[in-house]
Structure 1
Amino acid sequence: MKKLYVVLSLSVITSVFAQIKKVEPAFWWKGMKNPELQILVYGKSIADNEIELSDGVQIKDIRKVENPNYLFITVNTNEINVPKFKINIKRGKKNIDTYTYELKQRASNSSNRTSFTSKDVMYLIMPDRFANGDESNDSQPDLIEKANRSLPNGRHGGDLRGIINNLDYIQGLGATAVWLTPVNEDNEKVYSYHGYAQTDLYKIDGRYGTNEEYRELSRELNKRNMMLVMDYVTNHWGISHWLIKDLPTKDWIHTFSGGENGFRRSNYKTTTQFDTNASEIDKRYALDGWFDTTMPDINQKNPLVLKYLTQNAIWWIEYAELGGFRVDTYPYNDKEAMAKWAKAITDEYPNFNIVGETWLNSAGHISAWQKDSKTGEAAHYNSNLPSVMDFMLYGNMSSALKEKEGWDKGLVKLYDVFSSDFLYPDINNLLVFFENHDTERWNEIFNSDPQAYKMALTLISTVRGIPQIYYGSEIGMRGDKNKGGDADIRRDFPGGWKSDKQNAFNASMQTPQQKEYHQFTQKLLNWRKGKEVIHSGKTKNYIPQNNVFVYFRYNDKESVMVVINNNDKNETLDLSYFSESLNDYTKGKEVISGKELSLKDNLMIPAKASYIIELQK
């Protein structure tokens, strides 16, 4: 009996001290440009044990931290000649736990994968609100919040399968890149559908599907010469993230004394990043303050954190065959650390595009975040970030179309935006948009006026940059952020659920108004696909007159004239004013209507209308 007691005690000790709970990344690839791999191994008091790798694999570095539940093991994958090796946890001579680590063979030409450019149109989807393709995953036993479509801020059941099922619709619309708001696990108690409080960076949220389904979506898009863009969050995680609940180091996140869980809210003034006169306390609260109570601020200055974020990003690119990143709240991060992050990714994938959410109000501030920026150089800083979001254009568009013309009002606000283009080192690599999942719906601002939508879509589709549209706007969807909050600008797409009375994915079931929006969008975006003059041509702007804005996109082969008339009445243009751009062109074809136009003397533009004219000699 005594002998049995000893055996049981040893068994208990082994289970307490030897269990490997997590290994991240769970696997990796041979043939990466950077062969160094840092493997996080997590388990109860795991650092109190010895580590040995099988098959002669050498440990280059092993890092123990203040929390004994973590080990960080570094290996050189170029020196590993086996497809699998074992991570052995040893106590003395006894092997008490093992993890088999796999080095997969990298896909051929992976480093040169295609990414989004100015040739593309990006379609932004909030997956929980788009389409429910698999009702069986709406709620999950291991995830706290359950599906309840009656709650505006609850989980509604949209998922990856719903997106896969509607790729014909997205492709037919003319979009070529699909940006999903975050789909990694967000296991917070409420308001988890938006996905920005992630609790596992290596796992797709079970209510959306699986890692395999995420990769399937990407591959299905690739088959159509389209691509998947991941919404990546480096600034904050969810407070229920397993790494946050058991911090490897105290400085893994930023904390403040006095607040619950170390919380202090950000002041959201990220202009302090480049303000040479900013106070240190303002800078600290902007960058280290939490985005919200459930979103601890991640410390990218910690080398272990930065390595974790870098490897996780590369893991998803390689695993899911991604076509780009959109990075949330970019200026809230430590800028020097993020410059290293962006460079590590683009060193591995030279063609890979990363667009940062640079929600600032001036071209000077926004342009400072783009790689090789002149304004960034003035601040002795290079972000290595290829692309930024043109929030200055977004911020001026609605007022430009709503205001009466004046010296600094009306369409001149658009001209003023474009007059700052010289600040950007890569002007064609700007994301241009008039709304997204955080803003008031355009069709709400303009009370479902299709003409206002057509003018806005014409603008972002024909100026420099990469157009981004938000799901549902192409059928006139509305949403009042001021009255209904975020949930109202993130309504369910009609037809995405079996119980929906109308299916707007099916053109034959669209209302007349929905058809007007949809058909215009479809015609314009599909025309844009083949237009190199729009993707990379030069621009000639003419200062708006009489509330009419005219600009030309041109190259050595062709020229396109764009006219936006924001008046409530028809306007007649004296074409002699534009002679330097019209040159020998005497006629043109309006893209949407197909109408042939004479360009010899005058041109009449209908009220509240836009013309896109392919010039002809």
Structure 2
Amino acid sequence: MKNLKTNFLKHSFYELILLVLLFPASAKAQIQKVEPPFWYAGMKNPELQIMFYGKNIAQYEASVSNNVAIKNVEKTENPNYLFVTINTKDVKASELTFSFKNKNKVAFKQKYALKERRANSADRKSYDASDLMYLIMPDRFANGNPKNDSDASLTEKGNRQDPSGRHGGDIEGIIKNLDYISSLGATTIWSTPLCEDNDKQHSYHTYGQSDVYKIDSRYGTNDDYARLSAEMHKKNMKLVMDYVTNHWGITHWMMKDIPTKTWFNQFETFTQTHHRREVITDIHASKIDQEVCVDGWFVPSMPDLNLRNTLVAKYLTQNAIWWIEFANLDGFRVDTYNYSDKTAMANWAKSITDEYPNFNIVGEIWMHNQANLAFWQKDSKVGSIENYNSNLPSVMDFTLQSQITSAFNENEPSWDSGLIKFYNNFAMDFLYPNTNNILVFAENHDTDRMNEKFKYDLPKYKLAMTLLATVRGIPQIYYGSEIGMGGDKGKGGDADIRQDFPGGWAGDKNNAFTKEGRTPEQAAYFDFSSKLFNWRKTNEAVHFGKMTHYIPENNTYVYFRYTDKKTVMVVFNNNAKEQVVKTNRFKESIKNFKSGKDVITGKTFDLATEITLEPKSALVLELQ
């Protein structure tokens, strides 16, 4: 078309008429969006639903080249959408051409690429209990490219002076600090969503996405995201995408022209979820309570997706798979998992794990009851009571999370306070089908900051990190806590628990990404964390070993993690004064071991009679 414009004056009037006849309305003019924008050959599920969007596109009859079969064409009450399902079985990577006819005449064409997959893509490994997951809010982590802090096409501009505004952290900032994250002992990065969020304000958290096929330009580009993944893989690190199935943002491009009235859950008047997710498994629950829970909007700015609509379910499934292939992802964390229809979510998870058998997905099930949590893990005995299988490999251990920030503040034990909380938590592990595949954490981007709850008491921080490093499951830590960062959610709201990482911006007073730039206080937190979690990388007993624990006494708690080859003894003193722990009670776990070497200090402890612990301290002993 550029050449046509350049040579316009060289053509006669009749030549121009001929050109118009030969090249009628172009596909680019007619089709505004194609999603997925391209696909991959050789997928296990060969059926591909392609959404074509453009003015009155439903009036056209679609066909496709290369002898590819069209299995189904679906139209909705909105004539601007056409959903075409093709069968890609045995179709090699190639460029397809879709033709759109009107009255048996081709009105326009659209090319569509089927790309080659990476070798062994289906068998990709994922994160597991041998990993340490590092949670980042990219806008608050590091500004690697100040030129993209604002974008003319997006409403909210960069403003670091606004605690709830866009601060400029981006993908480049993560890439530039991968060595820092690795030095901490982290092997996996979970970043909060990076897809475009065009909300007028508070868009930095990016959970109100406006385009789920496009990285927010204030973070970078799609290619930047793929580059992040590639750079991480060079360092033997894994990338986890934060995926949102329950809702989009109010500014999502489809909200201006909804494909069908059932694409989003809608009520006669605005209805917000009541957040009482117990009703989902409650055998006594009323239908209206269940409906409001699942179909109600999370907040007014986040329209609730209707996954019971098969077009929506297929769209979200393919979008998730597209990102796995495009960015070479290693796993998902799924936001507000149990706010969506549970049958649809089970199908969504199964579709992904059928395609990638080793792919791990952890769901945010923000509930504080082990039965409620266990219900949602794949192959759950609890779920089987009502013949339900979520197909979700992993859940987040919110019961443990709430206990960490309370128990270590309780110096005086009682029947149900202090370290007994941990014992009681793990005593309920019989409910879970796979305790090794549970995400364990003390905090995240939505909860109170751990260091704030501990009043910046370093010994309590060490206790919490020791627990996370040595219990069953996949440990996750939140950016900045490893250098003592905090924040008071009660006073400063979400922005206060999502502060900028010091050193991530030019001109910051200190650069905590470097050893030389850390304050003595920051160094004390980091050095301990780095030593603990780098040790954890090397010890299989705390990855997949069994666990034996003993009822806490005098606010001390002892457990063992062990395999046939290694045994680790973990001893906690939660008192504000020194404690002596007699070892004869633990003979069945100590067996013939004579001593234990503390993984932090290197000091050796004799296991014959007793161990003395300093106030508010823990020992991680490799038994010898």
TM-score band by shorter chain is over 0.9
Q: Does 1:276 align with 2:277?
A: no
1:303-361 CA distances to partner (integer Å, 9 max, x unpaired)? 00000000000000011010100000011010000101000000000000000001001
CA contact (8 A) 2:463 2:618 kept: yes
What is the match of residue 547 of structure 1? 555
Instruction: Please give the secondary structure, in 1, of the residue aligned with 2:298.
Output: coil
CA contact (8 A) 1:400 1:413 kept: yes
Shift of 1:97: 2.7
Q: Does 1:461 align with 2:469?
A: yes
Tell me the distance in 1 between the aligned counterparts of 2:264 and 2:551.
Answer: 49
What is the match of residue 298 of structure 2? 291
What 5-or-longer segments of structure 2 have no aligned partner? 1-13
The correspondence for 1:37, drawn from 48, 58, 67, is: 48
Tell me the distance in 2 between the aligned counterparts of 1:421 and 1:576.
Answer: 26
1:47-93 CA distances to partner (integer Å, 9 max, x unpaired)? 01222223333312111111000001111112535600111223335
Instruction: Please give the secondary structure, in 1, of the residue aligned with 2:113.
Output: strand
CA contact (8 A) 1:18 1:44 kept: no
The correspondence for 1:98, drawn from 109, 133, 158, is: 109
TM-score scaled by length of structure 2? 0.95
Tell me the distance in 2 between the aligned counterparts of 1:80 and 1:398.
Answer: 54
The correspondence for 1:143, drawn from 154, 158, 162, is: 154
What is the match of residue 28 of structure 1? 39
CA contact (8 A) 1:17 1:46 kept: no
Counterpart amino acid of residue 125 in structure 1: I
CA contact (8 A) 2:26 2:109 kept: no
Instruction: Please give the secondary structure, in 1, of the residue aligned with 2:229.
Output: helix
Shift of 1:7: 11
Tell me the distance in 2 between the aligned counterparts of 1:9 and 1:254.
Answer: 44
Counterpart amino acid of residue 281 in structure 1: I
TM-score scaled by length of structure 1? 0.96
What is the match of residue 225 of structure 1? 236
Tell me the distance in 2 between the aligned counterparts of 1:564 and 1:27.
Answer: 54
What is the match of residue 256 of structure 1? 267
Counterpart amino acid of residue 583 in structure 2: L
The 5 A counterparts of 1:553-564 are: 553-564=561-572
Q: Does 1:49 align with 2:60?
A: yes
What is the match of residue 331 of structure 1? 338
Tell me the distance in 2 between the aligned counterparts of 1:148 and 1:256.
Answer: 36
Tell me the distance in 2 between the aligned counterparts of 1:510 and 1:421.
Answer: 40
CA contact (8 A) 1:62 1:73 kept: yes
Shift of 1:96: 3.0
Tell me the distance in 2 between the aligned counterparts of 1:382 and 1:219.
Answer: 34
Q: Does 1:127 align with 2:135?
A: no
Counterpart amino acid of residue 599 in structure 1: L
What is the match of residue 423 of structure 1? 431
CA contact (8 A) 1:16 1:44 kept: no
What is the total number of aligned residue pairs between the two structures?
A: 611
Tell me the distance in 2 between the aligned counterparts of 1:84 and 1:15.
Answer: 18
Tell me the distance in 2 between the aligned counterparts of 1:80 and 1:452.
Answer: 58
Counterpart amino acid of residue 302 in structure 1: N
The correspondence for 1:78, drawn from 72, 79, 89, is: 89
The correspondence for 1:199, drawn from 197, 205, 210, is: 210
CA contact (8 A) 1:18 1:97 kept: no
Tell me the distance in 2 between the aligned counterparts of 1:16 and 1:315.
Answer: 23
Q: Does 1:19 align with 2:30?
A: yes
Tell me the distance in 2 between the aligned counterparts of 1:487 and 1:475.
Answer: 18
Counterpart amino acid of residue 180 in structure 2: Y
Q: Does 1:614 align with 2:603?
A: no
Shift of 1:14: 4.6
What is the match of residue 180 of structure 1? 191
The correspondence for 2:373, drawn from 366, 378, 399, is: 366
Shift of 1:95: 3.2
The correspondence for 2:446, drawn from 415, 438, 452, is: 438
Judged with a 3 Å threshold, the aligned counterparts in structure 2 of structure 1 residues 289 and 9 are, in CA distance, closer, same or farther, namely farther
CA contact (8 A) 2:27 2:110 kept: no
What is the match of residue 3 of structure 2? none
CA contact (8 A) 2:42 2:91 kept: no
Tell me the distance in 1 between the aligned counterparts of 2:25 and 2:586.
Answer: 82
The correspondence for 1:380, drawn from 378, 387, 406, is: 387
What is the match of residue 491 of structure 1? 499
Q: Give the share of equivalent positions with the same residue, in percent.
A: 57
Shift of 1:517: 0.4
Tell me the distance in 2 between the aligned counterparts of 1:550 and 1:81.
Answer: 58
Judged with a 3 Å threshold, the aligned counterparts in structure 2 of structure 1 residues 573 and 135 are, in CA distance, closer, same or farther, namely same
CA contact (8 A) 1:67 1:249 kept: yes
The 5 A counterparts of 1:205-220 are: 205-220=216-231
What is the match of residue 9 of structure 2? none
RMSD (Å), alpha carbons: 2.0
CA contact (8 A) 2:27 2:108 kept: no
The correspondence for 1:566, drawn from 570, 574, 585, is: 574
CA contact (8 A) 1:20 1:97 kept: no
What 5-or-longer segments of structure 1 have no aligned partner? none
Tell me the distance in 1 between the aligned counterparts of 2:552 and 2:223.
Answer: 51
Tell me the distance in 1 between the aligned counterparts of 2:499 and 2:301.
Answer: 23
Instruction: Please give the secondary structure, in 2, of the residue aligned with 1:454.
Output: helix
Q: Does 1:586 align with 2:594?
A: yes
Judged with a 3 Å threshold, the aligned counterparts in structure 2 of structure 1 residues 110 and 81 are, in CA distance, closer, same or farther, namely closer
Tell me the distance in 1 between the aligned counterparts of 2:556 and 2:37.
Answer: 57
Counterpart amino acid of residue 494 in structure 2: D
What is the match of residue 392 of structure 1? 399
Shift of 1:530: 1.4
Instruction: Please give the secondary structure, in 2, of the residue aligned with 1:60.
Output: strand
Q: Does 1:171 align with 2:182?
A: yes
Instruction: Please give the secondary structure, in 2, of the residue aligned with 1:375.
Output: helix
Q: Does 1:401 align with 2:408?
A: yes
